[in-house]
Amino acid sequence: MKPEYFVVGDVHGKYQLLVDLLQKWNPERQQLIFLGDLIDRGEDSKACLELVMDLVQNQGAICLTGNHERMFLAWLRDPQDRYDHYQRNGGDTTINSLLGRSLDASVDGMVDAHQVSEQYGELIDFLKSCPYYLETELYIFVHAGVDLTLDDWRETSEHDMVWLRSKFHETANETGKWIIFGHTPVYNLFGTKTRISQIWDSGDGKIGMDGGAVYGGVLHGLVCNQDGPIEDYVVGHTRFQLQIED
């Protein structure tokens, strides 16, 4: 096992920010981990998906499932019932990116689901294979959080692992491990609408690192070792923007 982890927060189609951030990654000593939400809302979800899939398949990276990947797969399974929900959460940008159209092009949830399924079988299989969490001796990596009210947090449902917010944020972490997560932009965790470029530390081992890159924030790359988080690389520039919820 490599001595360090390089953890990437929510990308949301911001391909150039991802490329810039990966310049900070040291593949010789750092295990690369993506916390999910590679897609939706940003301008190049297709490129983000293809790059991360290549890193997983050829360089041993680990990509966790986020709620946006879960919504994407749910839409493909049942486009009639699930398209509206996916559209409300920025799915059209991913659909249009995959099908080579302008991001504001009109989407037909049924027809386009068939086309994406026909053209991107390998990519879909990759997303289906992404785990919901990664546990090590000192860390729990997960997209949104785990249910800390359970006797065993590992019994958290897959739904909750990609959707939890305050129930996780506000419950004491008694796992004895650092919990590194994304999903909720850090400006919400800090209780401000101002875009900020720092990660959120609960004080009891929960570290939030969704910099809200697609909302005028930044993309974080957190380096962790056997002593805990040791360095935070930040790409992008913060700018004020009205809050948008997942």
Q: What confidence tens digit (pLDDT) does each residue in 75-126 have?
A: 999 999 999 999 999 999 999 999 999 999 999 999 999 999 999 999 999 9
Domain annotation covers residue 170: no
Q: What confidence tens digit (pLDDT) does each residue in 55-69 have?
A: 999 999 999 999 999
| Strands across the sheet containing 62-63 | 62-63, 30-34, 4-8, 219-225, 228-235
- Token readout for 132 is 């919901």
- Token readout for 110 is 């049924």
Domain annotation covers residue 11: yes
Domain annotation covers residue 137: no
The pLDDT value recorded for residue 246 is: 53
- Domains contained in the chain, number: 1
Domain annotation covers residue 183: no
Find the helix or strand (DSSP H, E) in which 98 lies.
helix 91-98
CA distance linking residue 31 with residue 197, whole number of Å: 23
Whether 168 shows a pLDDT value over 60: the answer reads yes
Domain annotation covers residue 74: yes
* Pairing mode, strands 228-235 and 178-185: unpaired
Residue at token pair 């990116």: 97
Entry pTM: 0.96
Q: What pairs with residue 179 in β-bridges?
A: 140, 206
Whether 242 shows a pLDDT value over 80: the answer reads no
Which CATH number covers residue 107? 3.60.21.10
CA distance linking residue 91 with residue 70, whole number of Å: 11
The pLDDT value recorded for residue 241 is: 52
Its domain, for residue 103, covers 4-129+146-161+189-235
Domain annotation covers residue 70: yes
CA distance linking residue 116 with residue 43, whole number of Å: 17
Domain annotation covers residue 136: no
CA distance linking residue 237 with residue 233, whole number of Å: 13
Q: Residue-wise over 187-207: b if at least 16 C-beta within 10 A, else e?
A: bbbeeeeebbbebbebeebbb
pLDDT bracket for residue 237 (50, 70, 90): confident
- Token readout for 127 is 């997303």
Whether 23 shows a pLDDT value over 90: the answer reads yes
CA distance linking residue 246 with residue 234, whole number of Å: 22
Domain annotation covers residue 60: yes
